[in-house]
Structure 1
């Protein structure tokens, strides 16, 4: 097979490169201990640098017994050995491995405690590549080589334990990164993609990874063991006063264009950034994806349909006013226009038969969005802080969708046909604010927090629904349904939440936390529908079947108590709350009120054990409730598609989720592994039951079900090899899940059992700053079995292979290549089950400092991009084809701006 041949070729090529670069090397071994207690020092950083130019040779972290091994040290070469551990003075030694030696075993290294935390910085400029500190993993950026003009995203791909997918999502040691800060302050709202795709790597000094905890959790020093991660980018000292950025413009075949600009002004604690983007190449808004060929993708996976023209801009600012007040804010503007032609063929599965539903769609969508955020922190004194965060969002949407559809029996006999045009114009606004007050007391562990949250949401829309639907019996016309309606919709939501906590130390290791939360969620929806009156030429005939005003109010009081234990490498917490929930559903139109009262227990527990400074095991459980949305509760039908009518259900009850998770992870220098197991189940889960009436219309309504549960497991392993100028990293991953779901097919209960397993392998090869090769391969097997004999079991597999390569030789030329192969066995007959997306670019570096780039890129060289997708469910099998962006050439010029005040 083509994909397997590609993998073999890549592996052979990389292996050849590694062998070709193998001069004579040796190994250094030793043990690090405390000079007084003689205790082994785990996770000590041992780095070896060339004495002549301070270039990093290799590094390692010590094990739990203080032992370390640093490989690939050049023989007969003077090197500096630098040993660092937080809280200890830096140890340095000049070493040389004899020409005939393969191993140098050092005497036991005794580290002396330091009473000056800054001393390690002032002793030497040779910092370790990786440092492990309490609650922080720190990377020394200068130790990791990338291509010229690299961005932070390119840096992340070279760090051990870090994975960045093609969409810019970041995983570090098995955890997702959800926020990025610059010098401890949010950058464009903390959006990771904007930061990693627009900030240059060469301005970064250190990259620090921490848990992304809430303010309440940070204050109370609690953890559920499952927090996401945040990255803080610490800038080099010489760039903290000045400005830098990048401007770019490109034009190509078929009138394709891309342009972007970003300028950053830094002056000590002051930060100001401006960003803008415009393109018609489906690159989205200001995520920084322009000119990146790795973001060109096929739509075999169901994404990327339509042709989009987008323009966007934004600004970000941050400033410290005195020593007490810190301000941070951002503004975004986004405008897009999308055209999409699509067609679908759906086979609807009934209990004793089936029929086909075919449709052709033409949609046009215009969207405008404004977002503004402002964060303020005020330190009253060393024990008291106030934080205020505010967020405003406004949007406008104008969409038109024209559909032609027909339903056919297995004998190709017509059941119904329809032509429908649905247009809607709407606008919305959202405002939210958060107030957080914290006060510590002189007694360690004692403290009080107060939190207040308010969210207001308002949506208005006017929709026109015009169409004709013809229904048949025995293949002959039977009836016609004409639709010509105008609906005025209004939806308002208000959420008010108040939280208070008090923490009290029970003893040195145990803290008690008392917590109370009040939450009120109010939603109002009003839909007025009128039919067209031919006599007056206006929409003034009330259509009561599609007119309704509905109000939903949820009010909850939740007292909670928890105990946390933290001693050495052990940590644990256990707690429970009681939620008293009142739910009122009122149909304002007819005065019907449904009052419901619930009492839910909200238990939580976690147990953690740090078996090393970089290894931990965690077991945790939590339970939470979720209320149905106003759209699910409102009884008025939604007939925007007259052949697919959606109903509400005012009798829905809240769902309650249970989740148990076990995670074990360890990182040791160049090696990292992670494994996790998870089990979840839901009481009163909300699902959608669908059925068909006697003329072939499909109806859908949310209902509560019980008995659904799922299990999943995954294993990740990463290992890095480094030989002087050559680095090779391997990532292995295994994932699997099992889900059991109870649903309804044509009002008959059906149970499905879904199984999935995937295996992935990825390599990251880097030689000097000249050659980079990143092949990845993933295969996934899926199988679903149904309890109903009338529903065919589904089984399919997918394969994905990608190859990214960069070649920088001579120094003024960079060649890029990106190849993506996707295979999906469930694609319908008549369509290619595989798509190969190949894009390439040539970059010429210009000017003395290589700050200019002239770039020629071609996207979809093989002209294989195809928007084909198949989905299989309990009630239907659907094949869909959408309009996609195909081959184009783009000539671009990119210029990197730099001006710093180093005085």
Structure 2
């Protein structure tokens, strides 16, 4: 560790003598600063690298040129004539001010007219020419993006540009597999990419951009001409120790009217092909203008890399297409298939905290999970003319989840072994129609949306044990072995419609009106039975188990939003009137509720300058209970938990406020992003808990007890010559009222995590990223608990002998509880890759879990339990793979 820090300090001091810094101001002829002016330094010799800067709000810029290299420095700005400065290799110039003369014309864009054409700037769009920033050794899009200024890619495939997250990924202007970023950054070959466009305030409907207030940030990948009308991509195969293997293919075909992409993957090394965010998009079929209803389908097992298992086998296939069928109609869609099998093993030491006693439990859990998923999605895009747009989207989704779970529970009172077999078949059909029209005078625009969704979920559970359990909570009959069968049937059907009118009164005043209706129907049926030896059945319905609920919730609403601008300050207050009608029918009781509620909201944006903004959002909202919360019969949840709903629940009511600040100053090399949020529930639904040993009984209660949740997260990064230093934090304070064993207490659950990192920012150096984080967690309720964590991460990448790339990542984590007991684990991965220039073959040797750790350790706590958990992980994986580029 100390050697690494010493090396970094040495490189820092060495860099002082290897750079030539020029600063100055870009202004017009009367000395008004030109904010966001572009300054491009083009090297005139092969040993130099392209440099660029963007002027801050005072017109200041800073360029760090390679010493001993001749540069041609060009300053440019919209509607101004470019000015060029030639910097000789032995130049002593340290300051230069550019004064640009107006062309007298209003240009739509800036084009930097050099051989590389590295940047094209429009109002909301920045286009990067990739070859100006990459070194040519990159294999995938992800590695190219990491070298673009202001662009970051995390380990989950999420992309941020100048601190703002990319929410839509496009290739040649078409949505790429629903618009998620992970599939794109990890599969698109680097040698196919020509330019990258970053589009802020993105809207698929061009004429809606002025009124939609979209906060989406889109990234559009433009391909090289020689990659169009030809199939390109790569195929990879790998074999390793202990029968570990990998097969992966990413194949693409793009032409002006037809685009087809295929991604296939088979591996047993714990690598997932798509992320949770991608999954949320694939669960789509819902218009972005309507908030989707909560899905009952649990598909978490399909996403994110998962090496925290003892076995993982994954099969994945995806096909994406887009066809311009006719002049005004295009058809696009995708198909997804995923089959995942996982075996996991975990040991837990649990302390169940009660008002007058503590129950200790040692738990060993083995889990086998097989999940199969199929999705088909099709979208029609119809453009009758340039002022009208129609969309139709339909999606079918089917999944099956089979789980075999064995829990061995040893307490200070008894010992039980529970085996659970769960099967869940889920089907959903979703579709929507969107219509957008702008009228002739362009001051009036309308949107009409209809959305329909249907879900049918049928989970079945079987519990097996040789001893009685949940004594007093379930009506067991004495038997040699105990078998409990549970069947659930859940159906959801919803139809939502919305009409919105946008009126542009003038450039500073807009008025929007909204009318809509959301209707939802659900049925919830459960049954629990004991299957007794000899064939008889003990039906739990006589003891208050078994639900049969019909649920209807209708929400009719009217709303008005007024958008006005005062200088740099834009505001949009709004008021919505909602008429809610809730009806439930169940054998024990029928219930109906009708409420008229007003829900105000306020959006406010202040733009200090083009690179510094402040955004505020406030909402007063209401949420109504789900059908399972209203089911007033008992339901068996797990080997130690029973739940009963409450048919008299009403809506929760809460205030939500968010404040976001962002600033980027390339002159000072500073980037700041900070967000604070406050949520306060004034009507709260929270489960009351009865705890007896490890056995739990839960039921939801609506109260006027307030719940407050403060959150803050932010980061500050500073570029110091060829290094970037970053400080980030994530803080939260949560206060709520909890009833446990008839004792009501005020609980505080607080978390703080602070991190500091340093990384190199010079493409001729190895990529080094070091990070240390410190975490604190506190819980105060019936008891008090405190935990701390110390984490260190290091990533290293170097290119040597032109054709070799070596990577190393290391992570360790130490957790400490309030008794100063700690656990520790560390893990490391490494790889070496070889590819000759212009060769289609890539050879790579990868070692995951090179330290061959057996398990990861962590502490956690809840309202009534402290748990120390040991999760077993995949062993060391040594994989040799060969890739072939088409």
CA RMSD of aligned residues (A): 3.1
- CA deviation after TM superposition for structure 1 residue 311, in Å: 0.7
- CA deviation after TM superposition for structure 1 residue 820, in Å: 0.9
Which residue of structure 1 aligns with residue 284 of structure 2?
none
CA contact 2:383–2:390 (8 Å) conserved in 1: yes
CA contact 2:625–2:650 (8 Å) conserved in 1: yes
- CA deviation after TM superposition for structure 1 residue 886, in Å: 1.7
Instruction: Establish whether residue 665 from structure 1 lines up as the match of residue 665 from structure 2.
Output: no
Instruction: Establish whether residue 74 from structure 1 lines up as the match of residue 63 from structure 2.
Output: no
- CA deviation after TM superposition for structure 1 residue 850, in Å: 3.7
How far apart are the structure 2 equivalents of 1:471 and 1:64? Answer: 69
Which residue of structure 2 aligns with residue 449 of structure 1?
447
- CA deviation after TM superposition for structure 1 residue 263, in Å: 0.6
- CA deviation after TM superposition for structure 1 residue 212, in Å: 6.3
Q: Aligned to 2:195, what secondary structure does the other structure show?
A: strand
Instruction: Establish whether residue 355 from structure 1 lines up as the match of residue 359 from structure 2.
Output: yes
How far apart are the structure 1 equivalents of 2:871 and 2:335? Answer: 33
How far apart are the structure 2 equivalents of 1:140 and 1:155? Answer: 11
Q: Aligned to 1:684, what secondary structure does the other structure show?
A: strand
CA contact 1:836–1:865 (8 Å) conserved in 2: no
In structure 2, the CA distance between the partners of 1:608 and 1:817, relative to structure 1 (3 Å rule), is: same
Which residue of structure 2 aligns with residue 603 of structure 1?
600
Instruction: Establish whether residue 208 from structure 1 lines up as the match of residue 208 from structure 2.
Output: no
CA contact 1:509–1:567 (8 Å) conserved in 2: yes
For residues 512-560 of structure 1, what are the alpha-carbon distances to aligned partners after superposition, in whole Å with 9 as ceiling and x for unaligned? 101012001111112244443655x476967444322111111011100
Which residue of structure 1 aligns with residue 745 of structure 2?
750
In structure 2, the CA distance between the partners of 1:400 and 1:480, relative to structure 1 (3 Å rule), is: same
In structure 2, the CA distance between the partners of 1:171 and 1:700, relative to structure 1 (3 Å rule), is: farther
Q: Aligned to 2:718, what secondary structure does the other structure show?
A: strand
Q: 2:613 aligns with which of 599, 612, 616?
A: 616
Which residue of structure 2 aligns with residue 372 of structure 1?
376
Instruction: Report the count of equivalent residues.
Output: 850
Which residue of structure 2 aligns with residue 893 of structure 1?
882
Q: Which moved more, 1:441-450 or 1:630-639?
A: 630-639
Which residue of structure 2 aligns with residue 872 of structure 1?
861
- TM-score, with normalisation over the residues of structure 2? 0.89
Instruction: Establish whether residue 329 from structure 1 lines up as the match of residue 333 from structure 2.
Output: yes
In structure 2, the CA distance between the partners of 1:24 and 1:274, relative to structure 1 (3 Å rule), is: closer
CA contact 1:827–1:869 (8 Å) conserved in 2: no
Which residue of structure 1 aligns with residue 258 of structure 2?
270
How far apart are the structure 2 equivalents of 1:54 and 1:241? Answer: 36
In structure 2, the CA distance between the partners of 1:137 and 1:828, relative to structure 1 (3 Å rule), is: farther
Instruction: Establish whether residue 426 from structure 1 lines up as the match of residue 424 from structure 2.
Output: yes
Q: 1:59 aligns with which of 52, 55, 77?
A: 52
- CA deviation after TM superposition for structure 1 residue 349, in Å: 0.9
For residues 135-183 of structure 1, what are the alpha-carbon distances to aligned partners after superposition, in whole Å with 9 as ceiling and x for unaligned? 3344442332357133222233333443333222333334333331112
Q: Which moved more, 1:57-66 or 1:800-809?
A: 57-66
Q: Aligned to 2:645, what secondary structure does the other structure show?
A: coil
In structure 2, the CA distance between the partners of 1:541 and 1:576, relative to structure 1 (3 Å rule), is: closer
1:566-645 residue pairs with structure 2 within 5 A?
A: 566=565, 569-587=568-586, 589-590=587-588, 592-645=589-642
- CA deviation after TM superposition for structure 1 residue 659, in Å: 1.4
Which residue of structure 2 aligns with residue 284 of structure 1?
272
- CA deviation after TM superposition for structure 1 residue 499, in Å: 0.4
CA contact 2:50–2:133 (8 Å) conserved in 1: no
- CA deviation after TM superposition for structure 1 residue 331, in Å: 0.8
CA contact 1:526–1:548 (8 Å) conserved in 2: yes
Q: Aligned to 1:197, what secondary structure does the other structure show?
A: helix
CA contact 1:758–1:780 (8 Å) conserved in 2: yes
In structure 2, the CA distance between the partners of 1:469 and 1:636, relative to structure 1 (3 Å rule), is: farther
Q: Which moved more, 1:754-763 or 1:109-118?
A: 109-118
Q: Aligned to 1:874, what secondary structure does the other structure show?
A: coil
CA contact 2:80–2:100 (8 Å) conserved in 1: no
How far apart are the structure 1 equivalents of 2:520 and 2:209? Answer: 27
CA contact 2:27–2:98 (8 Å) conserved in 1: no
How far apart are the structure 1 equivalents of 2:507 and 2:111? Answer: 31
For residues 207-245 of structure 1, what are the alpha-carbon distances to aligned partners after superposition, in whole Å with 9 as ceiling and x for unaligned? 3334466779982745778x4533222233443332221
Which residue of structure 2 aligns with residue 292 of structure 1?
none
Which residue of structure 1 aligns with residue 793 of structure 2?
802
Which residue of structure 1 aligns with residue 408 of structure 2?
404
CA contact 1:820–1:838 (8 Å) conserved in 2: yes
Which residue of structure 1 aligns with residue 814 of structure 2?
823
- CA deviation after TM superposition for structure 1 residue 894, in Å: 1.9
Which residue of structure 2 aligns with residue 298 of structure 1?
none
For residues 800-851 of structure 1, what are the alpha-carbon distances to aligned partners after superposition, in whole Å with 9 as ceiling and x for unaligned? 2111111211122222211111121139988x622111122222225x5143
- CA deviation after TM superposition for structure 1 residue 424, in Å: 2.2
In structure 2, the CA distance between the partners of 1:633 and 1:176, relative to structure 1 (3 Å rule), is: farther
1:833-852 residue pairs with structure 2 within 5 A?
A: 833-846=823-836, 849-852=838-841
Instruction: Establish whether residue 857 from structure 1 lines up as the match of residue 846 from structure 2.
Output: yes
Q: Aligned to 2:101, what secondary structure does the other structure show?
A: strand
In structure 2, the CA distance between the partners of 1:634 and 1:213, relative to structure 1 (3 Å rule), is: farther
Which residue of structure 1 aligns with residue 398 of structure 2?
394
Instruction: Establish whether residue 153 from structure 1 lines up as the match of residue 142 from structure 2.
Output: yes
Q: Aligned to 1:105, what secondary structure does the other structure show?
A: coil
CA contact 1:25–1:102 (8 Å) conserved in 2: no
Q: Unaligned 5+ residue runs, structure 2?
A: 278-304
Which residue of structure 2 aligns with residue 83 of structure 1?
75
How far apart are the structure 1 equivalents of 2:620 and 2:803? Answer: 57
1:113-512 residue pairs with structure 2 within 5 A?
A: 114=105, 117=108, 120=111, 123-129=113-119, 133-145=122-134, 148-211=137-200, 219=208, 221-222=210-211, 227=215, 229-286=217-274, 304-408=308-412, 414=413, 416-470=414-468, 483-512=482-511
- CA deviation after TM superposition for structure 1 residue 480, in Å: 5.5
Q: Aligned to 2:111, what secondary structure does the other structure show?
A: helix
CA contact 2:583–2:592 (8 Å) conserved in 1: yes
Which residue of structure 2 aligns with residue 10 of structure 1?
4
CA contact 1:608–1:616 (8 Å) conserved in 2: yes
CA contact 1:837–1:865 (8 Å) conserved in 2: no
Q: 1:99 aligns with which of 77, 82, 90?
A: 90
Q: Aligned to 1:556, what secondary structure does the other structure show?
A: strand
Q: Unaligned 5+ residue runs, structure 1?
A: 1-5, 290-300, 409-413, 898-903
In structure 2, the CA distance between the partners of 1:156 and 1:517, relative to structure 1 (3 Å rule), is: same
Q: 2:648 aligns with which of 642, 646, 651?
A: 651
How far apart are the structure 1 equivalents of 2:877 and 2:318? Answer: 28
Q: 2:766 aligns with which of 764, 771, 776?
A: 771
CA contact 1:89–1:120 (8 Å) conserved in 2: no
CA contact 1:97–1:104 (8 Å) conserved in 2: no
How far apart are the structure 2 equivalents of 1:158 and 1:97? Answer: 27
CA contact 1:197–1:288 (8 Å) conserved in 2: no
Instruction: Establish whether residue 729 from structure 1 lines up as the match of residue 720 from structure 2.
Output: no
Which residue of structure 2 aligns with residue 900 of structure 1?
none
- CA deviation after TM superposition for structure 1 residue 573, in Å: 0.6
How far apart are the structure 2 equivalents of 1:12 and 1:102? Answer: 32
Q: 1:46 aligns with which of 39, 44, 57?
A: 39
For residues 739-796 of structure 1, what are the alpha-carbon distances to aligned partners after superposition, in whole Å with 9 as ceiling and x for unaligned? 212222223212122333322222231554562212222222222323x3xx1x2222
Q: Aligned to 2:191, what secondary structure does the other structure show?
A: helix
Q: Aligned to 1:43, what secondary structure does the other structure show?
A: coil
Instruction: Establish whether residue 740 from structure 1 lines up as the match of residue 735 from structure 2.
Output: yes
Q: Aligned to 2:166, what secondary structure does the other structure show?
A: strand
CA contact 1:146–1:154 (8 Å) conserved in 2: no
In structure 2, the CA distance between the partners of 1:382 and 1:304, relative to structure 1 (3 Å rule), is: same
Q: Aligned to 2:271, what secondary structure does the other structure show?
A: coil
How far apart are the structure 1 equivalents of 2:815 and 2:306? Answer: 11
How far apart are the structure 1 equivalents of 2:580 and 2:276? Answer: 44
Q: Aligned to 2:432, what secondary structure does the other structure show?
A: strand
CA contact 2:363–2:408 (8 Å) conserved in 1: yes
